[in-house]
Structure 1
Amino acid sequence: MSDTTALLARIDRLESLDAIRQLPAKYALALDMRDGDAWVNLFPEDVRVGGGKQGRKDLRDWFDETHSMQFDGTSHHIGGHVIDFDDADHAQGVVYSKNEHETGAQWVLMQMLYFDRYERIDGRWYFRRRLPLYWYASDLNQPPVGDRKMRWPGVPPYHGSFHDLFPSWGTYWARQGKAHDGPVEPPAPLERFIETMRRGAPLPKPRVRS
Structure 2
Amino acid sequence: MATDPALLARIERLESLDQIRQLPAKYALALDMRDMDAMASLFPEDVRVGREETGRKAFRAWMDRTLRSPFTGTSHHIGGHIIEFDDADHAQGVVYSKNEHETGDEWVIMQMMYVDNYVRIQEPDGPRWYFARRLPLYWYATDLNQPPVGDNKMRWPGTEWTEGNFHKLFPSYAEFWAREGDHGGPVAEPAPFDGFLATMRRGADAPRVKVRAD
Cα distance in 2, alignment partners of residues 149 and 28 from structure 1: 23
1:191 aligned onto 2:194 = yes
Deviation of 1:96 (Å): 0.1
Counterpart of 2:86, as a letter, is D
1:125 aligned onto 2:126 = no
- Choose the corresponding residue for 2:147, options 113, 136, 143: 143
Tell me if the contact between 1:71 and 1:102 (Cα under 8 Å) persists in the aligned partners.
yes
2:39 aligns with 39
* Residues 61-70 or 74-83, more deviating: 61-70
Q: Which runs of 5+ in 2 are unaligned?
A: none
Counterpart of 1:153, as a letter, is P
Count of residues in Structure 1 that have an aligned counterpart in Structure 2: 208
Cα distance in 2, alignment partners of residues 194 and 148 from structure 1: 26
Q: Structure 1 stretches (4+) deviating beyond 4 angstroms? A: none
SS of corresponding position for 1:112: strand
Q: Deviations over 1:161-203 (max 9, x none)?
A: 0000100001100113x12211111000120000000000011
Q: Deviations over 1:62-119 (max 9, x none)?
A: 1110111220000000000000000111000000000000000000000000000000
Deviation of 1:147 (Å): 0.5
Considering only aligned residues, what root-mean-square deviation do their CA atoms show, in Å?
A: 1.0
Cα distance in 1, alignment partners of residues 89 and 154 from structure 2: 35
- Choose the corresponding residue for 1:207, options 204, 207, 210: 210
SS of corresponding position for 1:70: coil
Question: TM-score by structure 2 length?
Answer: 0.95
1:19 aligns with 19
Deviation of 1:208 (Å): 1.4
Cα distance in 2, alignment partners of residues 192 and 158 from structure 1: 32
Cα distance in 2, alignment partners of residues 100 and 69 from structure 1: 15
Deviation of 1:3 (Å): 6.9
